[in-house]
Chains A and B, each alone.
Chain A
Amino acid sequence: NAGVTQTPKFRVLKTGQSMTLLCAQDMNHEYMYWYRQDPGMGLRLIHYSVGEGTTAKGEVPDGYNVSRLKKQNFLLGLESAAPSQTSVYFCASTAVVDVHEQYFGPGTRLTVT
């Protein structure tokens, strides 16, 4: 199993550009999450999904949109990137039958200039 993978690993955007971050998991997990981590801080939840076709807002959802069209994929979109969105983005997933453990991906380092 590859676990949780994230694409791309690094990206530099100019202010106003758009992009989509892809998270994929091969563990058949129902729940998926997108977090961001700013330097020296803990992770903050952006959006999450409890199943295919469903999404919900987390702690810091503004400026982001998400979609979960397939169970194994969770996409995070930035429609008009801002320097304040410079961060490391982590995706995670968990199974309903073992909901206590979240599995995290390696992260995407995004810089917006």
Chain B
Amino acid sequence: DAKTTQPPSMDCAEGRAANLPCNHSTISGNEYVYWYRQIHSQGPQYIIHGLKNNETNEMASLIITEDRKSSTLILPHATLRDTAVYYCIVTVMAAGNKLTFGGGTRVLVKP
């Protein structure tokens, strides 16, 4: 699986958009980009995934650069409940679809 690099932490103002970057310069053509988050001590929660195209769902948007070497998770209107550790994961959708979690970005949403 390709290695990902994320900033260790970032702050965001409540009500504003939060843009979380992720670098994955060694990504291969058949690897997906996944985002999960983990709210204090709870099990991780799936947010979104993508292969080449930008994706949007009710939680967030995922912007993948044309060369696929980096991506950005966008939380459009951050709330205090979005305070969590966000993990960017790159992996092949093979049998078992195993995920490798790195250190993630600790996001603190401030009032």
Contact = CB atoms under 8 A, between A and B. Distances in A.
B46 A43 contact: no
Interface in B69-104: 87, 93, 95-104
B32 A100 contact: yes
B96 A101 contact: no
A90 interface: yes
B93 A42 contact: no
Q: Is the interface of A mostly helix, strand, loop or mixed?
A: strand
A73 B43 CA distance: 18
B97 A100 contact: yes
Contacts of B42: 104, 106-107
B98 to A, nearest CB: 6
Interface of B: 32, 34, 36, 41-46, 49, 87, 93, 95-104
Among all A-B residue pairs, the 3 with the closest Cβ atoms:
A104-B43, A42-B101, A43-B101
Interface of A: 4, 31, 33, 35, 41-45, 48, 50, 56, 58-59, 88, 90, 92, 94, 99-107
